[in-house]
Structure 1
Amino acid sequence: MTDAVPVQSWKVTLPCTRAEAEALEGDIAAFAMMDKPPVLMTSEAEPDNENSWRLEAYFEGRPGPAAVKLLRTLVPSAGAVRPVVEQLPDEDWVTLSQQGLEPVTAGRFHVRNLPGDPEQPDYVNFLICASRAFGTGQHETTSGCLMMLDRMRRVGMRFRNVADIGTGTGLLAFAALRLWPRALATASDIDPVAVEISADNARANGVRLGAGAGQVALFTAAGADHPAIVGRAPYDLLIANILAGPLIELAPSLCALVEEGGTIVLAGLLKEQADAVLAAYRVQGMRLAERSDRGDWPTLRLRKRPRIGWKRPRRFNSAERGEAWGFGSI
Structure 2
Amino acid sequence: MSWLVSLPCTRAEAEALSAEQPELEALADAPVVVTREIDEASGRWQLDAYLDDRPGPALLALIRALAPSAKGVEPSIEELPEADWVTLSQQGLEPVQAGRFFVHTSSYADRAPVGSVPFLIDAGQAFGTGGHDTTAGCLAMLDRLARRGVRPRAIADIGTGTGLLAFAALALWPRARAIASDIDPASIAVTRKNAAINHVPLGRGAGRLALALAPGTDHPAIRRRAPYDLVVANILAGPLITLAPDIASVTAPGGHAILAGLIARQMEPVLAAYRAHGFRLAARGGSAEWPCLLLIKRQRHGWRRKQRALHRASPSDATFGSW
Task: Give me the TM-score of the superposition, normalised by structure 2.
Answer: 0.87
**Cα deviations by residue, 1:218-255 (Å, 9 ceiling, x for unpaired):** 11111111111111111010000000000000110111
After superposition, the Cα gap between the structure-2 partners of 1:54 and 1:164, relative to the gap in structure 1 and judged at 3 Å, is closer
Q: Relative to structure 2, which stretch is displaced further, 64-73 or 134-143? A: 64-73
Which 5+ residue runs of structure 1 have no aligned equivalent? 1-7, 45-49
Q: What displacement does 1:113 show?
A: 1.6
Instruction: State the match for 1:213 in structure 2.
Output: 206
Question: Given residue 256 of structure 2, which amino acid in structure 1 is its aligned partner?
Answer: T
CA contact (8 A) 1:286 1:303 kept: yes
Query: Separation in 2 of the partners of 1:122 and 1:319?
Result: 42
- The one of 9, 16, 20 aligned to 1:33: 20
Q: What displacement does 1:194 show?
A: 0.5
Q: What displacement does 1:313 show?
A: 4.4
Query: Separation in 1 of the partners of 2:255 and 2:226?
Result: 11
After superposition, the Cα gap between the structure-2 partners of 1:313 and 1:96, relative to the gap in structure 1 and judged at 3 Å, is same
- The one of 38, 49, 62 aligned to 1:58: 49
CA contact (8 A) 2:8 2:67 kept: no
**Cα deviations by residue, 1:100-125 (Å, 9 ceiling, x for unpaired):** 11101011000002255322221000
Instruction: State the match for 1:289 in structure 2.
Output: 282
Q: Relative to structure 2, which stretch is displaced further, 168-177 or 57-66? A: 57-66
CA contact (8 A) 2:242 2:311 kept: no
Instruction: State the match for 1:273 in structure 2.
Output: 266
Question: Given residue 178 of structure 2, which amino acid in structure 1 is its aligned partner?
Answer: A
Which 5+ residue runs of structure 2 have no aligned equivalent? none
CA contact (8 A) 1:263 1:302 kept: yes
Residue 317, structure 1, aligned to residue 312, structure 2: no
After superposition, the Cα gap between the structure-2 partners of 1:272 and 1:319, relative to the gap in structure 1 and judged at 3 Å, is closer
Secondary structure in structure 2 of the residue aligned to 1:208: coil
Q: What displacement does 1:212 show?
A: 0.7
**Cα deviations by residue, 1:59-95 (Å, 9 ceiling, x for unpaired):** 355554132232252xx5xx54311123434321111
Query: Separation in 2 of the partners of 1:60 and 1:217?
Result: 35
Question: Given residue 237 of structure 1, which amino acid in structure 2 is its aligned partner?
Answer: L
Instruction: State the match for 1:71 in structure 2.
Output: 67
- What RMSD, in angstroms, separates the aligned Cα atoms of the two structures? 2.4
Q: What displacement does 1:15 show?
A: 5.7
Query: Separation in 1 of the partners of 2:314 and 2:254?
Result: 25
Residue 108, structure 1, aligned to residue 100, structure 2: yes
**Cα deviations by residue, 1:116-162 (Å, 9 ceiling, x for unpaired):** 53222210000000000110001100000000001111111111100
- The one of 145, 159, 178 aligned to 1:185: 178
Question: Given residue 249 of structure 1, which amino acid in structure 2 is its aligned partner?
Answer: T
Q: What displacement does 1:40 show?
A: 1.6
Q: What displacement does 1:29 show?
A: 1.9
Q: What displacement does 1:295 show?
A: 3.4
After superposition, the Cα gap between the structure-2 partners of 1:154 and 1:319, relative to the gap in structure 1 and judged at 3 Å, is closer
Secondary structure in structure 1 of the residue aligned to 2:218: coil
After superposition, the Cα gap between the structure-2 partners of 1:174 and 1:230, relative to the gap in structure 1 and judged at 3 Å, is same
Instruction: State the match for 1:153 in structure 2.
Output: 146
Secondary structure in structure 2 of the residue aligned to 1:217: strand
Instruction: State the match for 2:292 in structure 1.
Output: 299
Question: What is the identity percentage for the equivalent residue pairs of Structure 1 and Structure 2?
Answer: 49
**Cα deviations by residue, 1:192-216 (Å, 9 ceiling, x for unpaired):** 0100000000000010010111111
CA contact (8 A) 1:224 1:321 kept: no
**Cα deviations by residue, 1:249-305 (Å, 9 ceiling, x for unpaired):** 011011100111111100000111110000000110111111124131110011111
Query: Separation in 2 of the partners of 1:157 and 1:293?
Result: 19
Query: Separation in 2 of the partners of 1:71 and 1:208?
Result: 44
CA contact (8 A) 2:87 2:123 kept: yes
Question: Given residue 20 of structure 2, which amino acid in structure 1 is its aligned partner?
Answer: M
Question: Given residue 62 of structure 2, which amino acid in structure 1 is its aligned partner?
Answer: A
Query: Separation in 1 of the partners of 2:153 and 2:190?
Result: 25
After superposition, the Cα gap between the structure-2 partners of 1:274 and 1:42, relative to the gap in structure 1 and judged at 3 Å, is closer
